Amino acid sequence: MGEPPPDGLQRILIPADPLTARTRELGREISEHYGDRVPVLVGVLKGAIVFLADLMRAVDVPVECDFIAVSSYGRASRSSGVVKLVADLSLPIEGREVLIVEDIVDTGRTLAYLQRNLETRQPRSVRVCTLLDKAARREVPVALHHVGFTIPDEFVVGYGLDYAGRFRNLPYIAVLDQGHPSGP
Ligand code: PRP
Protein backbone atom coordinates (compact mmCIF):
# COMPACT_ATOMS: atom_id res chain seq x y z
CA MET A 1 0.00 0.00 0.00
CA GLY A 2 1.14 3.56 -0.70
CA GLU A 3 0.97 6.53 1.63
CA PRO A 4 -2.41 7.47 3.09
CA PRO A 5 -4.14 10.31 1.19
CA PRO A 6 -3.86 13.84 2.60
CA ASP A 7 -6.23 15.28 5.18
CA GLY A 8 -9.76 15.71 3.90
CA LEU A 9 -9.56 12.82 1.44
CA GLN A 10 -11.06 9.38 1.97
CA ARG A 11 -9.11 7.38 -0.62
CA ILE A 12 -7.38 7.55 -3.97
CA LEU A 13 -9.77 6.44 -6.70
CA ILE A 14 -7.51 6.72 -9.78
CA PRO A 15 -3.75 6.94 -9.19
CA ALA A 16 -1.46 9.02 -11.39
CA ASP A 17 -0.14 6.12 -13.51
CA PRO A 18 -3.54 4.91 -14.79
CA LEU A 19 -4.48 8.55 -15.46
CA THR A 20 -1.39 8.93 -17.61
CA ALA A 21 -1.93 5.63 -19.42
CA ARG A 22 -5.59 6.32 -20.19
CA THR A 23 -4.84 9.87 -21.31
CA ARG A 24 -2.30 8.49 -23.79
CA GLU A 25 -4.94 6.09 -25.16
CA LEU A 26 -7.43 8.93 -25.51
CA GLY A 27 -4.76 10.95 -27.32
CA ARG A 28 -4.33 8.10 -29.79
CA GLU A 29 -8.10 7.80 -30.34
CA ILE A 30 -8.37 11.53 -30.98
CA SER A 31 -5.36 11.55 -33.32
CA GLU A 32 -6.86 8.70 -35.34
CA HIS A 33 -10.25 10.37 -35.53
CA TYR A 34 -9.11 13.80 -36.74
CA GLY A 35 -6.02 12.97 -38.79
CA ASP A 36 -4.93 16.23 -40.43
CA ARG A 37 -8.24 18.08 -39.89
CA VAL A 38 -6.82 20.28 -37.07
CA PRO A 39 -9.51 20.32 -34.37
CA VAL A 40 -9.89 23.08 -31.81
CA LEU A 41 -9.67 21.55 -28.36
CA VAL A 42 -11.96 23.60 -26.12
CA GLY A 43 -11.03 23.27 -22.45
CA VAL A 44 -13.84 24.01 -20.01
CA LEU A 45 -12.40 26.12 -17.19
CA LYS A 46 -11.35 25.58 -14.60
CA GLY A 47 -11.53 21.84 -14.00
CA ALA A 48 -10.29 20.69 -17.40
CA ILE A 49 -6.96 22.53 -17.39
CA VAL A 50 -4.86 19.68 -16.02
CA PHE A 51 -6.44 17.04 -18.24
CA LEU A 52 -6.28 19.24 -21.33
CA ALA A 53 -2.60 19.98 -20.76
CA ASP A 54 -1.80 16.26 -20.63
CA LEU A 55 -4.26 15.23 -23.33
CA MET A 56 -3.00 17.66 -25.96
CA ARG A 57 0.54 16.34 -25.49
CA ALA A 58 -0.80 12.83 -26.12
CA VAL A 59 -2.27 13.92 -29.48
CA ASP A 60 0.22 13.60 -32.31
CA VAL A 61 -1.69 15.43 -35.05
CA PRO A 62 -1.94 19.24 -35.35
CA VAL A 63 -4.44 20.82 -32.95
CA GLU A 64 -5.33 24.26 -31.68
CA CYS A 65 -6.70 24.96 -28.23
CA ASP A 66 -9.00 27.49 -26.67
CA PHE A 67 -10.92 27.89 -23.42
CA ILE A 68 -14.43 28.62 -22.28
CA ALA A 69 -15.72 29.20 -18.75
CA VAL A 70 -19.20 28.52 -17.47
CA SER A 71 -20.79 28.58 -14.06
CA SER A 72 -23.86 26.98 -12.54
CA TYR A 73 -26.14 28.84 -10.19
CA GLY A 74 -27.57 27.64 -6.93
CA ARG A 75 -25.48 24.63 -6.24
CA ALA A 76 -24.21 23.60 -2.88
CA SER A 77 -21.34 21.55 -4.19
CA ARG A 78 -21.22 20.51 -7.82
CA SER A 79 -23.99 20.63 -10.37
CA SER A 80 -27.61 21.68 -10.49
CA GLY A 81 -29.56 24.17 -12.48
CA VAL A 82 -28.87 27.06 -14.72
CA VAL A 83 -25.62 27.40 -16.63
CA LYS A 84 -24.14 30.78 -17.54
CA LEU A 85 -21.28 31.71 -19.88
CA VAL A 86 -18.54 33.40 -17.84
CA ALA A 87 -15.74 33.68 -20.41
CA ASP A 88 -16.01 33.00 -24.12
CA LEU A 89 -13.70 31.45 -26.71
CA SER A 90 -11.08 33.67 -28.29
CA LEU A 91 -11.26 31.85 -31.66
CA PRO A 92 -14.08 31.76 -34.22
CA ILE A 93 -15.17 28.15 -34.70
CA GLU A 94 -17.33 28.44 -37.82
CA GLY A 95 -16.45 25.53 -40.09
CA ARG A 96 -14.05 24.07 -37.51
CA GLU A 97 -13.93 20.67 -35.88
CA VAL A 98 -14.45 21.29 -32.16
CA LEU A 99 -13.57 18.88 -29.37
CA ILE A 100 -14.95 19.92 -25.98
CA VAL A 101 -12.57 18.73 -23.26
CA GLU A 102 -14.15 18.23 -19.83
CA ASP A 103 -12.81 16.88 -16.57
CA ILE A 104 -16.15 15.40 -15.53
CA VAL A 105 -19.69 15.01 -16.82
CA ASP A 106 -22.16 14.73 -13.98
CA THR A 107 -25.79 15.78 -14.57
CA GLY A 108 -24.87 16.68 -18.16
CA ARG A 109 -26.32 20.19 -17.84
CA THR A 110 -23.04 22.03 -18.40
CA LEU A 111 -22.23 19.99 -21.47
CA ALA A 112 -25.75 20.23 -22.93
CA TYR A 113 -25.52 24.02 -22.56
CA LEU A 114 -22.07 24.13 -24.16
CA GLN A 115 -23.08 21.92 -27.07
CA ARG A 116 -26.14 24.10 -27.78
CA ASN A 117 -24.10 27.28 -27.47
CA LEU A 118 -21.24 26.12 -29.71
CA GLU A 119 -23.56 24.62 -32.35
CA THR A 120 -25.07 28.09 -32.96
CA ARG A 121 -21.68 29.19 -34.33
CA GLN A 122 -21.84 26.72 -37.24
CA PRO A 123 -18.82 24.54 -36.48
CA ARG A 124 -18.25 21.57 -38.79
CA SER A 125 -18.57 19.20 -35.83
CA VAL A 126 -18.74 19.24 -32.05
CA ARG A 127 -17.48 16.19 -30.20
CA VAL A 128 -16.73 15.59 -26.52
CA CYS A 129 -13.83 14.10 -24.60
CA THR A 130 -14.27 13.77 -20.85
CA LEU A 131 -11.83 12.28 -18.41
CA LEU A 132 -14.56 11.19 -15.99
CA ASP A 133 -18.15 10.15 -16.58
CA LYS A 134 -20.36 9.99 -13.48
CA ALA A 135 -23.02 8.26 -15.54
CA ALA A 136 -25.35 7.40 -12.63
CA ARG A 137 -25.98 11.11 -12.04
CA ARG A 138 -27.08 11.98 -15.57
CA GLU A 139 -30.20 14.14 -15.83
CA VAL A 140 -29.76 15.41 -19.39
CA PRO A 141 -28.73 12.95 -22.12
CA VAL A 142 -25.45 13.95 -23.77
CA ALA A 143 -23.29 12.16 -26.33
CA LEU A 144 -19.74 11.44 -25.12
CA HIS A 145 -17.27 10.45 -27.83
CA HIS A 146 -14.13 9.80 -25.77
CA VAL A 147 -14.40 8.80 -22.08
CA GLY A 148 -11.46 8.18 -19.76
CA PHE A 149 -13.17 6.47 -16.83
CA THR A 150 -16.75 5.86 -15.75
CA ILE A 151 -16.82 6.46 -12.00
CA PRO A 152 -19.29 5.80 -9.17
CA ASP A 153 -21.41 8.54 -7.62
CA GLU A 154 -18.84 9.84 -5.15
CA PHE A 155 -17.49 13.37 -4.71
CA VAL A 156 -14.11 13.32 -6.41
CA VAL A 157 -11.31 15.87 -6.40
CA GLY A 158 -7.81 16.20 -7.82
CA TYR A 159 -6.24 16.41 -11.29
CA GLY A 160 -8.13 19.66 -11.89
CA LEU A 161 -11.28 18.92 -9.89
CA ASP A 162 -11.88 20.95 -6.74
CA TYR A 163 -13.83 21.12 -3.56
CA ALA A 164 -14.32 24.78 -2.55
CA GLY A 165 -11.39 25.73 -4.76
CA ARG A 166 -8.96 23.22 -3.24
CA PHE A 167 -7.35 19.95 -4.37
CA ARG A 168 -7.04 20.81 -8.10
CA ASN A 169 -3.28 20.32 -7.87
CA LEU A 170 -3.37 16.68 -6.75
CA PRO A 171 -1.77 14.41 -9.40
CA TYR A 172 -4.49 11.75 -8.88
CA ILE A 173 -8.29 11.52 -8.52
CA ALA A 174 -9.41 11.03 -4.92
CA VAL A 175 -12.70 10.67 -3.06
CA LEU A 176 -13.41 13.50 -0.66
CA ASP A 177 -13.89 12.53 2.98
CA GLN A 178 -17.44 13.80 3.50
CA GLY A 179 -17.17 13.31 7.27
CA HIS A 180 -14.05 15.44 7.60
CA PRO A 181 -14.47 18.81 9.41
CA SER A 182 -13.47 20.67 6.21
CA GLY A 183 -15.72 18.51 4.00
CA PRO A 184 -19.15 19.38 2.58
C1 PRP B 1 -17.64 20.79 -13.21
C2 PRP B 1 -17.07 20.13 -14.44
C3 PRP B 1 -18.14 20.32 -15.47
C4 PRP B 1 -19.41 20.35 -14.64
C5 PRP B 1 -20.11 19.04 -14.78
O6 PRP B 1 -17.34 22.15 -13.26
O7 PRP B 1 -15.87 20.73 -14.85
O8 PRP B 1 -17.98 21.51 -16.20
O9 PRP B 1 -19.03 20.55 -13.29
O10 PRP B 1 -21.31 19.04 -14.07
P11 PRP B 1 -22.71 18.80 -14.76
O12 PRP B 1 -22.57 17.66 -15.71
O13 PRP B 1 -23.61 18.43 -13.60
O14 PRP B 1 -23.15 20.06 -15.41
P15 PRP B 1 -17.55 23.13 -12.02
O16 PRP B 1 -18.86 23.86 -12.17
O17 PRP B 1 -17.33 22.37 -10.75
O18 PRP B 1 -16.48 24.26 -12.24
P19 PRP B 1 -14.89 24.14 -12.33
O20 PRP B 1 -14.59 23.36 -13.59
O21 PRP B 1 -14.44 25.57 -12.44
O22 PRP B 1 -14.40 23.45 -11.09
What residues act catalytically? 106
Ligand 1 centroid–CA 144 distance in Å is 15
Give this prediction's pTM.
Answer: 0.94
CA neighbor of 14 nearest in space, from 41, 23, 49, 178:
23
- Give CA 52 to chain center in angstroms: 8
Q: What is the pLDDT along the chain (184 residues), one digit of tens a residue?
A: 566 677 899 999 999 999 999 999 999 999 999 999 999 999 999 999 999 999 999 999 999 999 999 998 645 455 557 899 999 999 999 999 999 999 999 999 999 999 999 999 999 999 999 999 999 999 999 999 999 999 999 999 999 999 999 999 999 999 999 876 666 6
Q: From 107, 106, 98, 148, select the one nearest 128 (Cα to Cα).
A: 98
Residue 113 CA: nearest ligand 1 atom is 14
- Residues near ligand 1 with C-beta < 6 Å? 44-47, 72, 78-79, 102-111, 162
Distance, CA of 37 to CA of 40 (rounded, Å): 10
Which atom belonging to ligand 1 lies closest to the Cα atom of 108?
12
